[in-house]
Structure 1
Amino acid sequence: MEIEIATVGGYEEVGRQMTAVRAGEDVVIFDMGLNLSQVLIHDDIRTEQMHSLDLIDMGAIPDDRVMSELEGDVKAIVPTHGHLDHIGAISKLAHRYNAPIVATPFTIELVKQGIESESKFSVDNDFVKMEAGETMSIGTSGQVDLEFVNVTHSIIDAINPVLHTPEGAIVYGLDKRMDHTPVIGDPIDMDRFREIGRSDNGVLAYIEDCTNAGKKGRTPSESVAKEHLRDVMQSIEDYDGGIVATTFSSHIARVKSLVEFAEDMGRQPVLLGRSMEKYSGTAERLEFVDFPEDLGMYGHRKSVDRTFKRIMKEGKENYLPIVTGHQGEPRAMLTRMGRGETPYELDEGDKVIFSARVIPEPTNEGQRYQSERLLKMQGARIYDDIHVSGHLREEGHFEMLEALQPQNIIPAHQDLKGFAPYVDLCESQGYELGRDLHVTRNGNLIQLVE
């Protein structure tokens, strides 16, 4: 069976992920993502109101013209998890393909919300829910199957999809960390990865996220981040002024920990910001997390400002606002607080907890720097970097190669500079650049089996 891979997006940057695999006449698309940094550098852009061609021109979503060179029909669109760099272009591109969107329940709900807010295109693709550990047949040949393997990441309900073909498995390895003690959900299913690697046909190709490949050691568990956060919050629990926390809105496990520790401190937690309300509300509705019944979640600006007024009236020492803005996004809650645009008044000595790291990209770094400066000018004390990454480090990558023993490797989710540490690791394990280690660019085709 002919096996061909189109590296559509995410092979020159972190963002706008999209990869297509052709097995015979059947094509499966993995991810359709947004490069958020290409949007953030423009003032007040509303992507839901923009045409896909304009977004392609500005480098915000994948240029999928290479798909016309694949001699087959798309049978499924498979987003791996709910981060925007993996699902943010579905509302702009999915309608071009007569194929269902196949994903885990939480991811499907986030995709649906993105489609509902889309004002330029009508997306009528069917949705197929599939849980980690399940398999479905792809196409009509009866020779190709799609499997979801459970992985742990900085968002719940993440999977690595595996396409089983007569020539071997194609493992799409974006994004994960090797977490054996997650705060929410099951540990990464390393047993299944080892089974796939040692099956009769083995792994024909492994497409891997290289984000942290240059960092030594292994990525700590989310339970480590939880204990770090607990330590920080206990150290300031006697402070009788304002304490504000921010983290990734999609990081439900971290939000859960913040809510839990707020209550331990005798403060009322409240979630503020559109994306905070969106992700946590969806997770609670789907019963991935059990928040307190009285936990307030407010997304619209008027309701947020009403909540800030209530906090100021009843006393900042009684509340822990958990807000958007960990990257210094211009319209996020924490940025507005730093600019003095909310009823919440920061006083000298008030604490701001960043339970997140800056995404290493110039736009984010600049906005985060500005946000912190504004907060400090109002007297805030910053508690930073209370976080663990959602991506594998060097030893995690080594363990995955040991488990899968792939015949071919395709680095992804980085630019060429970012690929270099992973290429070095693979070459140390006997792979050779240009032979079975394929460094590629956006818009290329890789023929694995002719």
Structure 2
Amino acid sequence: MEIEIATIGGYEEVGRQMTAVRTGDDIVIFDMGLNLSQVLIHDNVETETMHSLDLIDMGAIPDDRIMSDLEGDVQAIVPTHGHLDHIGALSKLAHRYDAPIVGSPFTIELVKQQIDSENKFNVNNDLLKMSAGEAMSIGESGNVELEFVHVTHSIIDAINPVIHTPEGAIVYGLDKRIDHSPVLEDPIDMKRFREIGREDNGVLCYIEDCTNAGRKGRTPSESHARSHLEDTIRSIEDYDGGIVATTFSSHVSRVSSLVEFAKDIDRQPVLLGRSMEKYSGAAERLGFVDLPDDVGMYGHRKSVDRTFKRIMKEGKENYLPIVTGHQGEPRAMLTRMGRGETPFELENGDKVIFSARVIPEPTNEGQRYQSERLLKMQGARIYDEIHVSGHLREEGHYQMLDALQPQHIIPAHQNLEGLSPYVDLAESQGYALGRDLHVTRNGNIVQLVG
């Protein structure tokens, strides 16, 4: 069986992920993501109203024109999880393919919202939910199967998809960390990865997320971040002024911990910002999280400002707003608070908790710097870096290679400089660049079996 892998997006940067795997006459696409930094450098860009070709020219979404070089029919589009760098281009590109979008339940809920907000294209692809541990047949041959393996990441319900072929398995390893004590869901299914590495013809190819490959050691568990967060909030529970927290809106596990610890210090948690409402609301509807009945979620600007007015009237010491803006995004809640554009008045000594780290990219770093300066000018005290990454470090990568023992490796999710530590690790394990270790770029095709 001929097997080719088209590396379409995310092989020269972190963002706009897209990979296509051809097995014989059948093609499966993994991820269709957005490179948010390419959007943020333009003022007031509304991607919902833009044409896909303009977004491709901006470098914001994958250039999928290479798909015409693959001989076969797309049978499925598989987003691995609900982050925008993996689903943000589905509303712009998926309608070009006569194939269902297959994802885990929470991911499909977020994809549906993404498609519903699209104003340029009609995306009518079927949306199919498949849970981790389940599999489906691909194509009509009957000898190719798609399986979902549960992984842990900084968003719930993430999976690594596996294509089983007569030549061996193809494991798409974006994005994950090895977490044995997560907060809201099951640990990563390392047992299944080890089984896949040793059954039938083993693993033909492993495509791996290299975001933190250059960092030594292993990535701590989400339970580590939860303990750090609890310790931080307990340390300021006697403060009688304003306490504000921000984190990734998509990080429902972290949001749920913030809600719980706010209650523990007798403050009323309230979720503010459109994306806060979107992710936590979807997680609650699907039963992934059980938030207290009195936790308000407000996304619309007017309802957010009404809530801020109520907080100021009833006393900041009674509330803990959990807001958007951890990266200093210009229109997010925390940035507006720093600019004095909300009814919430920051005063000298008020606490701002960043339960997130700056995504190491110039646009984000600049925006976050501005946001912190504005907050400090109003007298805010900053509690920073209360976070653990959702990506593997060096020892996690070693564990995955040991579990899967792949014949071929394709590193992804980084620029060429960021891929080099993973290349070093792979070479130390006997792989050779150009033989079975394939460093590639966007728009290339790697032929594994001819």
Q: TM-score, normalised by structure 1?
A: 1.00
Partner of residue 151, structure 1: 151
**1:21 correspondence with 2:21:** yes
**1:99 correspondence with 2:95:** no
Give me the whole-angstrom Cα distance separating, in 2, the residues matched to 1:336 and 1:373: 13
Secondary structure, aligned partner of 1:276? helix
Q: Deviations over 1:183-223 (max 9, x none)?
A: 01110000000000001210000000000000000000000
Secondary structure, aligned partner of 1:180? coil
Instruction: Give the RMSD, CA atoms, in angstroms.
Output: 0.3
Q: Which amino acid aligns with 1:360?
A: P
Partner of residue 415, structure 1: 415
Partner of residue 370, structure 2: 370
Partner of residue 441, structure 2: 441
Give me the whole-angstrom Cα distance separating, in 1, the residues matched to 2:164 and 2:418: 29
Q: Which amino acid aligns with 2:238?
A: D
Percent same amino acid among aligned pairs?
A: 84
**How many pairs align?**
450
**1:334 correspondence with 2:298:** no
Alignment of 1:57-206 (within 5 A): 57-206=57-206
Q: Gaps spanning 5+ residues in structure 1: where?
A: none
**1:356 correspondence with 2:372:** no
Q: Which amino acid aligns with 2:102?
A: V
Q: Deviations over 1:262-319 (max 9, x none)?
A: 0000000000000000000000000100000011000000000000000000000000
Partner of residue 213, structure 1: 213
Give me the whole-angstrom Cα distance separating, in 2, the residues matched to 1:384 and 1:26: 47
Secondary structure, aligned partner of 1:56? helix
Q: Deviations over 1:402-432 (max 9, x none)?
A: 0000000000000000000000000000000
Give me the whole-angstrom Cα distance separating, in 2, the residues matched to 1:184 and 1:197: 28
Partner of residue 397, structure 2: 397
Q: Which amino acid aligns with 1:43?
A: D
Q: Deviations over 1:2-48 (max 9, x none)?
A: 00000000000000000000000000000000000000111111000
Deviation for aligned residue 1:155:
0.2
Secondary structure, aligned partner of 2:313? helix
Give me the whole-angstrom Cα distance separating, in 2, the residues matched to 1:44 and 1:297: 25
**Runs ≥4 residues deviating over 3 A:** none
Give me the whole-angstrom Cα distance separating, in 1, the residues matched to 2:199 and 2:408: 16
Give me the whole-angstrom Cα distance separating, in 2, the residues matched to 1:253 and 1:282: 13
Secondary structure, aligned partner of 1:402? helix
Give me the whole-angstrom Cα distance separating, in 1, the residues matched to 2:399 and 2:70: 33
Q: Which amino acid aligns with 1:275?
A: S
Secondary structure, aligned partner of 1:358? coil
Partner of residue 227, structure 1: 227
Partner of residue 34, structure 2: 34
Give me the whole-angstrom Cα distance separating, in 2, the residues matched to 1:230 and 1:323: 18
Give me the whole-angstrom Cα distance separating, in 2, the residues matched to 1:152 and 1:255: 16
Give me the whole-angstrom Cα distance separating, in 1, the residues matched to 2:324 and 2:400: 34
Give me the whole-angstrom Cα distance separating, in 2, the residues matched to 1:134 and 1:114: 25
Partner of residue 382, structure 1: 382
Q: Which amino acid aligns with 2:75?
A: K
Alignment of 1:269-288 (within 5 A): 269-288=269-288
Give me the whole-angstrom Cα distance separating, in 1, the residues matched to 2:200 and 2:63: 36
Deviation for aligned residue 1:127:
1.0
Deviation for aligned residue 1:114:
0.5
Give me the whole-angstrom Cα distance separating, in 2, the residues matched to 1:42 and 1:235: 40
Q: TM-score, normalised by structure 2?
A: 1.00
Give me the whole-angstrom Cα distance separating, in 2, the residues matched to 1:403 and 1:285: 35
Secondary structure, aligned partner of 1:171? strand
Secondary structure, aligned partner of 2:183? coil
